[in-house]
Structure formats: structure tokens, C-alpha cells
């Protein structure tokens, strides 16, 4: 296939900017346009709920590539103008302009989920502006209520507790992160939160917002805080594609090279994209930093017709309550969880715990708590699907 003359990348976050960079690295000499809804240069999101929230980092530090650096690799930028539609060969922008290209890469990420009746003043956290607004609110506050005990909620709870706020987390499930990590390891996530001085209310369902500071739980109890954050996950940012031919049922369905099904000349990467996942046997959205980076490389090489590179294993991390949680592989596919290192699964210290996830007696995932060295060493064993004896024997 001939290389396209012009690639338009829609969405100027991690996946978008990495796609542009990887196109140049793969030798692409045609035109690249990068369209971003936000006015900012592409920036990194993980520090938003960590260093930016606590003030340890100034906002400028999250920039991935500023305008000068994008100009250096000859990328034409349209920032502060969302795309509103994609038709064959043309993307339409909110200011009424259009952009014609031979290839399109959709990298519009995800939007934070909101609850019914959620007041405007209740915070969510996805963008740099969200983080700065939450940081400013926390600076003048004594208490924080976090709705949702997932990674982002726990990270914000951790940062706020560290700044001396009284923090409550309400979580509808029996343990935090149950769906992703399972009940046994979810208990450890819950212990991190409570041992970090945060009140964790499990099995607590929010029924309504009384106002921007008070929520009502099933049973009628009301919980009030100076600041409320809703952290209940994110939905793929697809609204702008509603007038297009692309199937947007649950993320943009793509093949294993990121080509959008039924839309020749269109690829998708990152949180918005549901790639064919050979391990799961279905399309799946990995909402993790490393996946967006990996997918950008695969897509750029596919566009220029370069040899594909071997894919890495899925990987995620979260920094909270003084330690790093790391996961490799597919923990959610495990049918059995086995203690590989540390004492957390037996009720001892969470720090140093490494849990192995087995499916049909093969290691499919590993999750570690403050155990970076071990997690790195288990990577190869997850990669080859080691059996239990080999996984337990690792010294």
C-alpha cells in the first residue's frame, strides 16, 4: 500500500502525540496534522492525580511536547478546536473549518463518567484544567468526599489525606478495584486506603446529590464534605463521531493493528479504541498509559507499511499512600490468586506483596504493591504463561 500524503491525528493527548512522533520515527515524510480539543500542548495525565494535585509539580511539567518541539518534527497543530465529525477523507472542526487527509488516527481518549443529577460544582478529574480546579478547591478545604474507590479516586484521596484533609471514600462494591483485580487483591487496595487514614465506606451506594457538598446513600444517610470528587471511570470520547460511519457501540472497534473496522484509512489508539485482543478473543479497551503508547507505535508503523514490532504485555501502575501498585498481563482473566511474595494476602503488610493470577494453572497476570523489583522479574513468567511451581520458585 502506498504511504498516505497527509495523516490527520484527532486528539492531542498521549496517544495522539505519540502517533505523530512514531510516524516520524518510522520515516514518514508526508504532512501530519494534530487536532486537539484543549488549548494546551499535549500533556501527560498520570501526574494530574498525583504530583499536580499535591502541588509537587507545576502544571508546565506535565507537557509531553510543546509547540516548538512539535514544529521541529513538522507537525501542524490545531489546538483548542474539537473535531465534530469525520466523513470519508475529511474531518470537520468546531470552528467550521475542515481538514482533508488520506489517513486518520482517532485518539480522542475518554470523558469522565458523571452521575445522574451531579451538580456542576462537583469535581471530576480528566484534564489539566480539572486538576488545577480540584487543587484550588482542596487548598481551601478541610474535608473531601470521593465517590468511587478506583485508582484515580484512591490517588486523590491519598494526596488530600497527605495534605491533612479529612477524607471519605464511598465505594459501591465490596472492595475497591474488584472488577480489575478481584476480591482478594481488592481487599489490599482497601487496606491501603484505610491504613492511609481515610474513611472507606464499602457497599455504599449514592442515591442522590442533595447539593454540591452533600450526597445521600441508600438507607438515607447523608455525607457532607467541603469538596466532592466523582471518580467512577471514563467513557470513550465518541460523541463527535455520532454522525459518522464508524461503529461506536463500546469504543471504536479495531483489528489488532488499530485499523477501524469498516472504515478504510482510519485507525484508532488509546482509551477510545477497542482493539481485537487475541488473549481475550474479543475487542477490548485498555485504559492505561502504556497501551496508548504501544498502540501509537503499532499504528504509525502500519500506516507507513513498516514491519510490525513485537507487542509488550499490558502494564499499569498507580501511586497511592506512599507506594506503587503495578500490574502486568491480564489479572482480570485469572481464576485463582496465589501469594507469590510478601504477606498482604495473609493479612500482613500490604507493602511487598505480589499476587499471581492463574487461569487454568498458567500465570496470566501479576500485581505488586511496593514491589517493583519483583514485578519486573515476573514479567517474563507472565509472558510465557509459567505454571504455578515455576512462579513460586522465582527467587
Ligand X SMILES: Cc1cc2nc3c(=O)[nH]c(=O)nc-3n(C[C@H](O)[C@H](O)[C@H](O)COP(=O)(O)OP(=O)(O)OC[C@H]3O[C@@H](n4cnc5c(N)ncnc54)[C@H](O)[C@@H]3O)c2cc1C
User: What minimum distance in Å lies between the beta carbon of 365 and ligand X?
Assistant: 15
Taking each helix axis as running N to C, give the angle between helix 14-25 and helix 289-304, from 0 to 180 degrees, rounded to the nearest 10.
40
Q: Is the CB of 16 or the CB of 368 nearer to ligand X?
A: 16
**Burial class of 143 by CB neighbour count within 10 A (0 to 12, 13 to 18, 19+):** middle
The number of C-alpha atoms within 13 Å of 56 and in the hemisphere containing its C-beta is 11
One of 63, 69, 317, 394 touching ligand X (CB under 6 A): 317
Residue 271 within binding range of ligand X, rule CB under 6 A: yes
Q: Is 79 a residue that touches ligand X (CB under 6 A)? A: no
Nearest-approach distance from CB 168 to ligand X, in angstroms: 20
162: Cβ–Cβ under 8 A, 6 or more apart, which residues? 54
Closest CB to ligand X: residue number:
13
Within 160-219, the residues that bind ligand X by CB under 6 A are none
Would you count residue 351 as binding ligand X (CB under 6 A)? no
Question: Is the CB of residue 344 less than 8 Å from the CB of residue 353?
Answer: yes
Q: In the complex, what is the shortest distance from the CB of residue 383 to ligand X, in angstroms, rounded to a whole number? A: 19
Place of cell 489479572: 331
Q: Which residues contact 350 (CB under 8 A, 6 or more apart)?
A: 188, 191, 192, 195, 323, 342, 344, 369, 370
C-alpha cell at 381: 513468567
Among 62, 101, 125, 185, binds ligand X (CB under 6 A): 125
| Cα distances (Å, whole numbers) of residue 358 to 271, 337, 391 | 26, 6, 10
CB of residue 368 vs ligand X: minimum separation in angstroms? 14
| Of residues 8-67, those binding ligand X (CB under 6 A) | 10-16, 35-38, 45-46, 48-49
- Asked if 238 interacts with ligand X (CB under 6 A), we say no
Of 60-68, 206-214, 266-274, 297-305, the window that binds ligand X (rule: CB under 6 A) is 266-274
C-alpha closest to that of 100 among 210, 222, 6: 6
Considering the complex, what minimum distance in angstroms separates the CB of residue 230 from ligand X? 13
8 A C-beta contact, residue 273 and residue 237: no
Closest approach, Cβ 374 to ligand X, in A, equals: 19
Q: Which of 171, 178, 287, 294 is close enough to bind ligand X by CB under 6 A?
A: 287
* Strand arrangement, sheet containing 222-224: 206-209, 214-217, 222-224
Minimum distance from residue 219 beta carbon to ligand X (Å) = 31
Q: Per CB under 6 A, does 289 bind ligand X?
A: yes
Residue ranges in contact with ligand X by CB under 6 A: 10-16, 35-38, 45-46, 48-49, 82-83, 107-109, 125-126, 152, 237, 240, 270-272, 287-289, 292, 316-318
Amino acid at each position: 500500500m502506498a504511504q498516505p500524503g497527509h495523516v490527520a491525528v484527532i486528539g492531542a493527548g498521549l496517544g495522539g502525540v505519540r502517533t505523530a512522533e512514531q510516524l516520524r520515527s518510522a520515516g514518514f515524510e508526508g504532512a501530519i496534522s494534530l487536532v486537539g480539543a484543549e488549548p494546551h500542548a499535549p500533556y501527560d495525565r498520570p501526574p494530574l492525580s498525583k504530583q499536580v494535585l499535591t502541588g509537587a509539580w507545576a502544571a508546565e511539567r506535565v507537557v509531553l511536547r510543546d509547540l516548538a518541539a512539535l514544529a521541529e518534527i513538522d507537525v501542524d497543530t490545531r489546538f483548542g478546536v474539537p473535531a465534530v465529525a469525520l466523513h470519508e477523507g475529511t474531518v470537520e472542526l468546531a470552528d467550521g473549518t475542515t481538514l482533508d487527509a488520506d489517513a486518520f488516527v482517532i485518539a480522542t481518549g475518554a470523558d469522565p463518567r458523571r452521575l445522574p443529577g451531579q451538580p456542576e460544582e462537583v469535581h471530576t478529574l480528566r484534564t489539566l484544567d480539572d486538576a488545577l480546579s480540584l487543587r484550588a478547591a482542596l487548598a481551601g478545604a478541610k474535608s473531601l468526599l470521593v465517590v468511587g474507590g478506583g485508582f484515580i479516586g484512591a490517588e486523590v484521596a491519598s494526596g488530600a489525606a497527605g495534605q491533612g484533609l479529612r477524607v471519605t471514600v464511598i465505594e459501591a462494591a465490596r472492595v475497591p478495584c474488584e472488577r480489575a483485580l478481584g476480591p482478594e487483591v481488592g481487599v489490599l487496595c482497601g487496606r491501603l486506603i484505610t491504613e492511609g487514614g481515610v474513611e472507606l465506606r464499602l457497599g455504599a451506594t449514592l442515591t442522590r446529590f442533595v447539593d454540591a457538598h452533600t450526597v445521600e446513600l441508600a438507607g438515607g444517610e447523608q455525607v457532607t464534605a467541603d469538596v466532592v470528587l466523582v471518580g467512577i471511570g471514563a467513557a470513550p470520547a465518541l460523541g463527535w463521531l455520532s454522525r459518522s460511519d464508524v461503529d461506536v457501540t463500546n469504543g471504536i472497534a479495531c483489528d489488532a493493528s488499530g485499523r477501524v473496522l469498516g472504515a478504510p484509512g482510519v485507525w484508532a489508539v488509546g482509551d477510545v479504541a477497542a482493539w481485537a485482543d487475541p488473549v481475550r478473543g474479543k475487542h477490548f479497551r485498555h485504559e492505561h498509559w502504556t497501551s496508548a503508547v504501544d498502540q501509537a507505535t503499532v499504528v504509525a508503523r502500519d500506516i507507513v507499511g513498516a514491519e510490525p514490532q513485537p507487542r509488550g504485555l499490558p502494564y499499569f501502575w498507580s501511586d497511592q499512600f506512599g507506594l506503587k501498585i503495578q500490574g502486568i498481563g491480564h489479572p482480570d482473566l485469572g481464576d485463582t490468586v496465589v501469594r507469590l511474595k510478601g504477606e498482604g494476602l495473609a493479612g500482613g503488610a500490604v507493602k511487598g506483596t505480589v499476587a499471581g493470577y492463574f487461569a487454568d494453572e498458567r500465570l496470566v497476570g501479576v500485581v505488586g504493591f511496593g514491589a517493583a523489583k519483583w514485578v519486573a522479574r515476573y514479567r517474563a513468567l507472565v509472558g510465557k504463561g509459567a505454571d504455578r511451581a515455576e512462579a513460586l520458585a522465582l527467587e
